[in-house]
Structure 1
Amino acid sequence: MPTIDMTLDELRQYKGTNPCPVDLDSFWDESIQEMKSVHANVELVPSKFQVPSADCFDLYFTGVGGARIHAKYLRPKHASEPHPAVVNFHGYSLDSGDWIDKLSYVSLGYSVLAMDCRGQGGKSEDSGSIKGGNTYFGHIIRGLDMGPKHLLFRQIFLDTAQLAGIAMELPEVDGTRVGAFGESQGGGLVLACAALEPRIKLAAPVFPFLSDYKRVWDMDLDVSAYQELRNYFRQFDPLHEREDEIFENLGYIDIQFLAKRIRGKVMMAVGLMDTVCPPSTQFAAYNKINAEKQVVIYPDFAHERLPGINDRTLEFMCGL
């Protein structure tokens, strides 16, 4: 079996390298309470895109820190009520995609909510006042020097959970039958969402990003999606005098440490030739999931289209 990382047996036993902050659980408990205290002020605006089978809206809500977050919302016109819903998260620096991509789930009688991440390619606001870091990329390190509460991915993780909670409260949706799916950054956000909103029933992450940052560094794969880690050290800590501190702070937004909170059923897909999100980093999170789970292995594939995975994901979501 091809490998750029560990053998499959080693991957199934791997527990991660990045240090875990000692107060991680209380940090996220307090963060969830902050999220729940925010008045979301949900707004539905009919979209210019409309089709006979669905009502399509631009949905806006207020997240932590006051940012207005945007999501595409598609509601089937003739589905039974209440009915299931799925939330979808996109890849790094991209956006929520085209409306047509969601219609396969509408055809099942499901509502669909697809979020634009703050400050990336979509319509969501990035309202944080942060020293250092950029907006379109650089989200891992954004806020790193201001303490863990200022980490941008803390806010984005909370946005995913808040959106899922909003979906569960929609009158047309059965709040006990909500799933989440996404690839790469979207896969990492699926796991974060299912951890911070444990009512998520089904979660389908594909080659998840945002896991085990120290392992990425040790493998010298802090290029491509993780290049900002190298950029940060080169610009702000060239002698690595703060290396331990930096990786511990990144531990607050490391999905492997949130995975134990997941209660829903998980189906993860991993390509064993992935050099963007190395398989070991993905298994660091997968191996910490205590809920019912399965992993779909693509031995010869990297961070690319995995044949058949969209079909498998849709079939998996038929279990809602």
Structure 2
Amino acid sequence: MPLIDMPLESLKKYEGTNPRPDDFDSYWERALAEMKATDGQLELVKSEFQVPFAECFDLYFTGVRGARIHAKYVRPKHVAEPHPAIVQFHGYSVNAGDWSDKLIYALLGFSVVAMDCRGQGGLSEDTGGVKGTTQKGHIIRGLDDHPDNLLFRHIFLDTAQLAGIVMNLPEVDPDRVGAMGVSQGGGLTLACAALEPRIKRLALMVPFLSDYQRVYEMDLAKDAYEELKLFFRHHDPQHAREKEIFTKLGYIDVQHLAGRIRGETMMGVGLMDTVCPPSTQFAPFNKITAPKTLELYPDYGHEILPGFGDKTVQFMLGL
């Protein structure tokens, strides 16, 4: 098999490169305290899109720093309550997608909530107020400000807050909630399950937002990670701040959150992935101590992995 990264046996032992800040745990405890003190002001608005077997709503809540966050909520009709639910997260820069791609789970008796990430392609707000550059992406947004102002800190908290909101809905069984996503959505699935450890099952594909220094050292800071290279080129061309920058990025590196996950995990990895290289995906997977399954696709890269969607349906039916 061709190699774009480490041999498989090395990947299975890889523990990551990007530094973990010394105050990582207190950082996230402080962040969660801010989230819990935020009045979510939940609002459900019936959508124009409707189907006979489910109700579709635009769901809004207020996240940290006052941003109004939007999600699509599909609730099955004529299903015993409380019933299971799934929280979905989308890829980098886009949005929660069409209503129609949530209907398979509604037909199976699940409520489904798909979040628009703040400041990306959907309806969620970005309240701004950050110092420093925002060029080309959200990973570096807030990197020249206090670590508490990193944008992905807020997005990670949005995922956990939304999961908690779903668990509190009267029609949902809080002990039967799963999370899923691809690429950025995969990284957010890990963050959600780490910050809301009641998530029972998580299915993710080719996760993003992990092991930033490894990406850079592999000269793969392009495509989705292009902002890392541009940040150094424009703001630290001689890398005088390299250790500081990667350490600060460590606060929003999902590999460092993965040890908090308690839900059963299924992860799909393409071993030819040059966008999110396999080592950066193995780094969080190897830190998960909960039951876990790895689905490998030797000839696939950063793309939809065939059959993984069907495996996910079967996996979530176990909720």
Please give the range of the TM-score, normalised by the shorter of the 2 chains: over 0.9
Secondary structure of the residue aligned to 1:287 is helix
Paired letter, 2:50: Q
For 1:273 and 1:62, the matched residues in 2 are separated by 39
For 2:180 and 2:17, the matched residues in 1 are separated by 26
What residue is the counterpart of 2:193 in the other structure? 194
Secondary structure of the residue aligned to 2:199 is coil
What residue is the counterpart of 2:275 in the other structure? 276
For 2:131 and 2:25, the matched residues in 1 are separated by 26
What residue is the counterpart of 2:233 in the other structure? 234
Alpha-carbon distance, 1:312 to partner: 0.8
Provide structure 1 residue ranges, at least 5 long, that are not aligned to the other structure: none
Paired letter, 2:18: N
Alpha-carbon distance, 1:138 to partner: 1.0
For 1:66 and 1:198, the matched residues in 2 are separated by 24
Alpha-carbon distance, 1:131 to partner: 2.3
Equivalent positions of 1:165-176 (< 5 A) are: 165-176=164-175
Secondary structure of the residue aligned to 2:295 is strand
Alpha-carbon distance, 1:128 to partner: 2.4
Secondary structure of the residue aligned to 2:163 is helix
Q: Deviations over 1:177-200 (max 9, x none)?
A: 000000000000000000000000
Paired letter, 1:165: G
Which 4+ stretches in 1 moved above 6 angstroms?
A: none
For 1:132 and 1:70, the matched residues in 2 are separated by 26
Alpha-carbon distance, 1:96 to partner: 0.1
Paired letter, 1:91: G
Note if contact 1:65-1:128 (Cα within 8 Å) is conserved in structure 2.
Answer: no
Length-normalised TM-score, structure 2: 0.99
What residue is the counterpart of 1:217 in the other structure? 216
What residue is the counterpart of 1:299 in the other structure? 298
Paired letter, 2:11: L
Residue 85 (str. 1) matches residue 85 (str. 2): yes
Q: How many pairs were matched up? A: 319
For 2:270 and 2:5, the matched residues in 1 are separated by 11
Alpha-carbon distance, 1:133 to partner: 3.4
For 2:25 and 2:284, the matched residues in 1 are separated by 16
Paired letter, 2:200: K
What residue is the counterpart of 1:19 in the other structure? 19
For 1:120 and 1:93, the matched residues in 2 are separated by 5
Residue 286 (str. 1) matches residue 288 (str. 2): no
What residue is the counterpart of 2:51 in the other structure? 51
Note if contact 2:250-2:256 (Cα within 8 Å) is conserved in structure 1.
Answer: yes
What residue is the counterpart of 1:315 in the other structure? 314
Secondary structure of the residue aligned to 1:149 is helix
Q: What percent of counterpart residues are identical?
A: 67
Secondary structure of the residue aligned to 1:238 is coil
Q: Deviations over 1:43-102 (max 9, x none)?
A: 000001001011000000000000000000000011110000000000000100000000
Note if contact 2:132-2:145 (Cα within 8 Å) is conserved in structure 1.
Answer: no
For 1:118 and 1:133, the matched residues in 2 are separated by 17
What residue is the counterpart of 1:33 in the other structure? 33
Alpha-carbon distance, 1:132 to partner: 2.9
Paired letter, 2:148: K
What residue is the counterpart of 1:183 in the other structure? 182
For 1:41 and 1:225, the matched residues in 2 are separated by 33
For 1:178 and 1:128, the matched residues in 2 are separated by 31
Paired letter, 2:251: Y
Length-normalised TM-score, structure 1: 0.99
Q: Deviations over 1:184-230 (max 9, x none)?
A: 00000000000000000001111100000000000000000000000
Residue 144 (str. 1) matches residue 149 (str. 2): no
For 2:189 and 2:2, the matched residues in 1 are separated by 27
Return closer, same or farther for 1:133/1:49 CA change in 2, 3 Å cut-off: farther
Paired letter, 1:272: L
